[in-house]
Structure 1
Amino acid sequence: MSTSDIPALAEHIDQLIAEGRAHEVPAEQLQALVTAATRLYAAANEGAAHASEPLRDSASTTDAVVLTCALLKARDLNPFDLALWFSRSRVAG
């Protein structure tokens, strides 16, 4: 897979959502996808002068908060932990 395949993957995911078929994605595959995207985002922005915007406008505020809460729970973090990390920038500057 090359970086040129990523837009096609994103389009396929958007189509699944539009067709109301997101629930058909097995939990293990969803977990693998979110894990890979999370690791890719972190690696791409580690030490960068400016962090890239992680979401397109098509992701609603609710979408972002649902994912944020799930990520916090997945790593047994709470809003206080988040506040500490939020003040710690991983971006160079």
Structure 2
Amino acid sequence: MDTEYFTGAQAAAHVDGARQFFSAGTLHVRPATIHQWVRRGHLRPVGIAEDGRTRLYRLADVARAERATRDRALRHAAALLTDTRQEPS
């Protein structure tokens, strides 16, 4: 079985589509989000790319991190949608 490895930017692009779907287009996943997931312990790099700097992540690990953070992100998106839909008083 082949394991796919992604850089932070590639991982962000991969899960961005799912976040767009689940948040009705209000939330994006950027490379900085991937770095935050690492800092918060949701995701761990599995290697370094050939350039010697870029961290690599397994697709399955990225998917688990996205799932672990999705509920909070969707609550945030719901709050944003509610704020923008309120009628002025």
TM over 0.5: no
Structure holding more helix per residue: 1
Give the TM-score normalised by structure 2: 0.30
Provide the TM-score with structure 1 as the length reference: 0.29
